[in-house]
Structure 1
């Protein structure tokens, strides 16, 4: 569900941003607004980002090889990390640079009404894209807060699209405010101020995504509740306790579990094997993402 929902959100954002980018560039050529130029570059970056997210989903489906025995699931994390970098470099840095330039060398806007109309239409399209991302995210976030969902989600596409769309929507509002104030006051400096606001917003979102995607790319383990479930399923029957356990997501839907288990003393080897098999089965049923499980039986040497 997470993957299909993520794909739907990506496609909605891709279509919206591609159309918006063209409209914004036309608006910039007509008006000369730096806010419109910053938003145009932002939309081009977002459209490229959605293409990268789709590419990551595609390459992550490759089968495991001798060189990559655990598969290519982390491709989705890699391309999401690249998306965050692009959002920062092409979006935030360019917008801040253009805004400072506009404040230092203000120029009167021509046909500002065109910019306003384009921004209003773009806000409507971006609202649709953002609404799609929210709808698809609600299916998998459960009772978590939105911030917890962004921080804890192992599937990168929905958090990335969610934050991108939020940034795009608020960026359009900032651009509209900048153009509107420039028209109302007759001072084009406000257009530059709106552009800097867009850049700062994109910078905050990009840095947040870079931190989260870097953490996933390096390798994150199970959350507290999931780990508690795994340990609970392991410590049943002839398994007395978990001596130690390590988990790591090697892809959004693929969890690696490795544990050393203290077995009941005096068990025949066939009973040990059966207990291990049963423990694996219980974990897989309770945590479907636990696809790679390595369990090592041992004696509880803490007992006297």
Structure 2
């Protein structure tokens, strides 16, 4: 319980840290864009606003997901976080990428006279420091959660979208800052203000790529993903090792929240087990499973003859 509470607090720190950084950066970027007329800086301002709103939505999703089960949602509201994660991905694509590309095209066709870029460089430097700090916090939390897994494997297996979404948003933000800096420098170096517009389009492309990736991951979570193979193997070993169980036919799991799993088990009991004994065995098995695998929020065990069941081999078999 204490470990779970600490983990939730750390996740909230990541989101609040990203929110504070993005709000401050957005104001600075808009001020710089207004003074210098930079299209890429304006795109970066919208980018930071979208990121700020995204953090608010993820915090809201986490809050809603903590509601206990009720008659309408007997398995709880945990998967509501996945819905808001999908909305975040859509906002990055529709608003972040869309506005950036629009501003870039507009600036190319209607380039503004060049002005002193000094304030742009100052804002970009401050933004890199703030965004980098947020990225470092998000990466540290992500590294703690992923353990020995590789980055890509950890993202694909993660059932908590808030952590990797903030990390990828911050990564896209840092890439956007670099592109904006290059765009501002190139437009002044070559006296071609439309280059700043091309930088804005490039920022939009980066955001679109990140948005498509995040939407893909959020969609999988929203539809329903199974528990990690190690959890399934642990459940299989515990049930199969019970003296009353002849064999385990199959185990099916689905995440109802990042830290909650529903498991359905089909098991063949020995013929000598009576109905009364079976009830006590099922209660004993549930207690053992919940003690060994705390993320199991709901356990359903169905006694079923092996020849009548669709047998699925355990992980690694």
- Say if 1:2 and 1:214 are closer, same or farther in 2 by CA, change over 3 A: farther
> Whole-Å Cα distance in 2 between the matches of residues 141 and 33 of structure 1?
39
Aligned length: 303
- Could you say which residue in structure 2 is the equivalent of 1:55? 60
> Whole-Å Cα distance in 1 between the matches of residues 114 and 225 of structure 2?
49
Tell me if structure 2 keeps the 8 A contact 1:2–1:155.
no
> Whole-Å Cα distance in 1 between the matches of residues 71 and 284 of structure 2?
29
Q: Write the deviation string for residues 194-235 of structure 1: whole angstroms up to 9, x where unpaired.
A: 111111110011001111111111111123332222212221
TM-score under structure 2 length normalisation = 0.91
> Whole-Å Cα distance in 2 between the matches of residues 200 and 145 of structure 1?
26
1:192 to 2:200 alignment = no
1:160 to 2:161 alignment = no
Q: Write the deviation string for residues 180-202 of structure 1: whole angstroms up to 9, x where unpaired.
A: 11121111122112111111110
- Could you say which residue in structure 1 is the equivalent of 2:113? 108
- Could you say which residue in structure 1 is the equivalent of 2:225? 220
1:254 to 2:260 alignment = yes
Q: Paired residue for 1:45, among 50, 53, 61?
A: 50
**Distance apart, 1:117 and its partner CA:** 0.8
**Distance apart, 1:163 and its partner CA:** 0.6
Q: Write the deviation string for residues 1-55 of structure 1: whole angstroms up to 9, x where unpaired.
A: 4432221110110000000000000001001100001000000001111111111
Q: Paired residue for 2:281, among 275, 290, 301?
A: 275
Tell me if structure 1 keeps the 8 A contact 2:28–2:123.
yes
1:15 to 2:16 alignment = no
> Whole-Å Cα distance in 1 between the matches of residues 239 and 10 of structure 2?
32
- Could you say which residue in structure 2 is the equivalent of 1:133? 138
- CA-based RMSD: 1.6
In the alignment, structure 2 segments of 5+ residues that lack a partner are 1-5, 309-317
- Indicate the SS of the match to 2:294: coil
Q: Write the deviation string for residues 51-92 of structure 1: whole angstroms up to 9, x where unpaired.
A: 111111111122222111111111111111111111111111
> Whole-Å Cα distance in 2 between the matches of residues 5 and 148 of structure 1?
22
**Distance apart, 1:172 and its partner CA:** 0.7
- Could you say which residue in structure 1 is the equivalent of 2:176? 171
- Indicate the SS of the match to 1:73: coil
> Whole-Å Cα distance in 2 between the matches of residues 3 and 152 of structure 1?
19
In the alignment, structure 1 segments of 5+ residues that lack a partner are none
**Distance apart, 1:268 and its partner CA:** 2.1
> Whole-Å Cα distance in 2 between the matches of residues 68 and 217 of structure 1?
15
Q: Write the deviation string for residues 230-268 of structure 1: whole angstroms up to 9, x where unpaired.
A: 212221122122222221111111100011111111112
Dislocated runs of 4+, deviation >4 Å: none
